[in-house]
């Protein structure tokens, strides 16, 4: 049974049913669906109904449908003001003091004291003094139901992350991607300045700058895809490793280049070898000329031999006549006359050239389109797998696109917009700083400014890719925090 993205499926002892969210909440209120029954939204995995974030209000008694539930006293408490983690949170079942329902951020026993712990079963909120602590490690237990209590702040953070993950990918993520590098201004200024400075160091400096840039991008993609949205984009150099911080980014960068622009490179090499093979054909055509020269020497020896065979002497005289300038001129004139009388030969030659050119142009366009379309996905695969074998295998990326669906195409459009903006800004900077260009050195201010802005725009691209992966983590099997 398949379901629409907005439809819910519920599995009870009576069977499996499809319905919308409001009707499902009404069934929960009426007692037809229990917390232990399985539910699934769209084509997502089955989980217990009591652990689904969007159904917490129905189980806690906050949702009021067309048929209100039976009154209970006291009223069950409401959970925290965000939906629960589907694998961690569970609904509230035992009765709680009214103070906890009114303000879940306050202790249910001490309304004036902020909450520090929350029970994972009954969702009761407690201050630092209310739970029962057991063991040498002081494990907090709920004084009402006896189950384990968790830190309220960590539950809120995880719940907010889960709610954000289920919100879908859209323009808010585009804005979040633009603002992400600005959240770490110190790291942004340092990284942009270092990257731009290395670009001024010639070919070797550009290689080092590319390694740093790609290392930061893959770090951002992996961190954001795992749900670590507030982490800095700069790698942790306190535990520097040549393999992890140098070799892996270089390998992943090479893999991205191969899988995206590899077809263009192969086509270029094929064209170069085609020209070389053509030159070889011209060189091979010199062989008959050499054979002809050897025949001319034989003919000359026959003519100078007084005892030569008369038949061979006659053949030698005929060959000698063909070598005279007048005969060769007449032959060339006859050949030109035949070509003028038969223009189809030139047309065939021209058509062959045009056909070969059209095939080359078509292959170039296909290779260029592939590189532009697949480049973001190659970066995404490199970021969340950190595997060279996965990066160079286009089937991994194509399967990821299939699983992400429209989310990837949204991210691709946003990334394309960022790249266009980056190009426009680079042109503007180049025009403004044109008076500072120096002979044999170039426009150093433009290179530095453009490098700094390129660093920022690449971080924006990496953040958008990470967000698109994070929103599809359940479909991609990514373990988020």
At residue 392, what are phi and psi to the nearest 5 degrees? Answer: -80, -5
Which of 37, 53, 71 is the endpoint of a domain? 71
Confirm whether 39 is domain-assigned. yes
Task: Find the domain containing 2 and state its range.
Answer: 1-71
Report pLDDT for 299: 59
At residue 134, what are phi and psi to the nearest 5 degrees? Answer: -125, 155
Confirm whether 331 is domain-assigned. no
Which of 136, 167, 198 is the endpoint of a domain? 167
Which of 71, 101, 127 is the endpoint of a domain? 71
Confirm whether 349 is domain-assigned. no
Confirm whether 355 is domain-assigned. no
- pLDDT digit string, tens, across residues 367-417: 889 999 999 999 999 988 888 999 999 999 999 999 999 999 999 999 999
Confirm whether 323 is domain-assigned. no
Report pLDDT for 244: 75
CA 151 to chain centre: 35
Confirm whether 192 is domain-assigned. yes
Report pLDDT for 443: 83
Q: How many domains does the chain have?
A: 3
Q: Residue 175: which residues within 8 A CB-CB, separation 6 or more?
A: none
Whether 105 and 123 share a structural domain? yes
Measured CA to CA, the distance from residue 99 to residue 307 in angstroms comes to: 134
Whether 260 and 370 share a structural domain? yes
Whether 407 and 259 share a structural domain? yes
Strand partners, 133: 140
Whether 257 and 386 share a structural domain? yes
Report pLDDT for 475: 85
Contact (CB, 8 A) for 283 and 417: no
Confirm whether 332 is domain-assigned. no
Whether 413 and 436 share a structural domain? yes
Whether 79 and 194 share a structural domain? no
Q: What is the 3-state secondary structure (H, E, C) of the chain?
A: CCCCCCCEEEEECCEEEEECHHHHHHHHHCCCCCCCCEEEECCCCCEEHHHCHHHHHHHHCCCCCCCCCCCCCCCCCCCCCCCCCCCCCCCCCCCCCHHHHHCCCECCCCCCCECCEEECCCCCEECCCCCEEECCCCEEECCCCCCEEEEHHHHHHHHHHHHHHCCCCCHHHHHHHHHCHHHHHHHHHHHHHHHHHHHCCHHHHHHHHHHHHHHHHHHHHHHHHCCCCCCCCCCCHHHCCHHHHHHHHHHHHHHHHHHHHHHHHHHHHHHHHHHHHHHHHHHHCHHHHHHHHHHHHHHHHHHHCCCCCHHHHHHHHHHHHHCCHHHHHHHHHHHHHHHHHCCHHHHHHHHHHHHHHHHHHHHHHHHHHHHHHHHHHHHHHHHHHCCHHHHHCHHHHHHHHHHHCHHHHHHHHHHHHHHHHHHHHHHHHHHHCHHHCECCCECHHHHHHHHHHHHHHHHHHHHHHHHHHHHCHHHHCCCCC
Counting beta carbons within 10 angstroms of the beta carbon of residue 283, is it exposed (0 to 12), middle (13 to 18) or buried (19 or more)? exposed
Which regions of the chain are under pLDDT 70? 1-6, 13-15, 61-104, 137, 235-240, 272, 274-309, 312-313, 316-357, 481
Confirm whether 272 is domain-assigned. no
Whether 220 and 85 share a structural domain? no
Whether 470 and 381 share a structural domain? yes
Report pLDDT for 457: 95
Whether 372 and 470 share a structural domain? yes
Whether 66 and 117 share a structural domain? no
N-term to C-term CA, the chain: 31
Q: What is the CATH number of the domain that holds 37?
A: 3.30.1490
Report pLDDT for 2: 46
Whether 51 and 162 share a structural domain? no
At residue 194, what are phi and psi to the nearest 5 degrees? Answer: -65, -45
Whether 404 and 443 share a structural domain? yes
Helix axes 248-284 and 344-385, enclosed angle (nearest 10): 160
Report pLDDT for 174: 93
Contact (CB, 8 A) for 228 and 481: yes
Measured CA to CA, the distance from residue 345 to residue 387 in angstroms comes to: 55
């Amino acid at each position: 049974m398949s379901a629409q993205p907005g439809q819910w499926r519920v599995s009870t002892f009576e069977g499996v049913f499809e319905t919308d969210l409001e009707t499902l909440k009404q069934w929960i209120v009426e007692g037809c669906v229990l917390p232990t029954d399985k539910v699934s939204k769209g084509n997502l995995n089955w989980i217990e109904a009591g652990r689904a974030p969007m159904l917490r209000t129905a189980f806690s008694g906050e949702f009021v449908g067309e048929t209100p539930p039976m009154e209970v006293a006291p009223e069950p408490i409401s959970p925290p003001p965000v939906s629960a983690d589907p694998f961690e949170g569970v609904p509230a079942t035992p009765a709680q003091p009214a103070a906890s329902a009114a303000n879940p951020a306050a202790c249910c026993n001490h309304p004036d004291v902020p909450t520090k712990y929350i029970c994972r079963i009954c969702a009761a909120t407690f201050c630092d003094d209310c739970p029962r602590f057991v063991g040498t490690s002081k494990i907090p237990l709920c004084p009402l139901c006896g189950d384990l209590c968790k830190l309220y702040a960590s539950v809120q953070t995880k719940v907010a992350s889960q709610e954000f993950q289920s919100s879908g990918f859209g323009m808010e993520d585009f804005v979040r991607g633009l603002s992400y590098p600005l959240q770490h201004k110190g790291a942004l200024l340092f990284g942009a300045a270092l990257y731009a400075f290395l670009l001024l160091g010639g070919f070797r400096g550009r290689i080092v700058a590319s390694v740093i840039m790609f290392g930061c991008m893959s770090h951002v993609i992996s961190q954001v895809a795992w749900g670590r949205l507030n982490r800095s984009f700069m790698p942790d150099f306190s535990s520097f490793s040549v393999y992890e911080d140098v070799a892996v980014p270089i390998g992943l960068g090479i893999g991205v280049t191969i899988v995206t622009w590899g077809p263009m490179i192969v086509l270029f090499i094929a064209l170069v070898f085609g020209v070389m093979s053509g030159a070889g054909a011209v060189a091979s055509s010199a062989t008959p000329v050499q054979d002809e020269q050897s025949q001319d020497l034989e003919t000359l020896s026959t003519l100078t031999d007084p005892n030569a065979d008369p038949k061979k002497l006659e053949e030698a005289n005929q060959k000698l006549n063909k070598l005279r300038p007048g005969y060769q001129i007449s032959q060339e004139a006859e050949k030109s006359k035949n070509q003028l009388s038969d223009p189809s030969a030139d047309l065939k030659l021209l058509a062959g050239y045009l056909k070969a050119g059209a095939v080359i142009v078509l292959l170039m366009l296909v290779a260029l389109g592939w590189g532009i379309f697949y480049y973001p996905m190659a970066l995404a695969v490199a970021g969340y797998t950190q595997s060279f074998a996965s990066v160079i295998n286009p089937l991994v990326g194509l399967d990821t696109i299939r699983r992400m669906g429209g989310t990837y195409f949204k991210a691709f459009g946003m990334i394309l917009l960022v790249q266009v903006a980056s190009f426009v800004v680079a042109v503007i900077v180049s025009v403004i700083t044109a008076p500072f260009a120096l002979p044999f050195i170039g426009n150093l201010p433009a290179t530095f400014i453009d490098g700094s802005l390129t660093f920022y725009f690449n971080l924006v691209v990496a953040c958008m890719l990470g967000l698109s992966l994070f929103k599809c983590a359940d479909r991609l099997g990514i373990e988020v925090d």
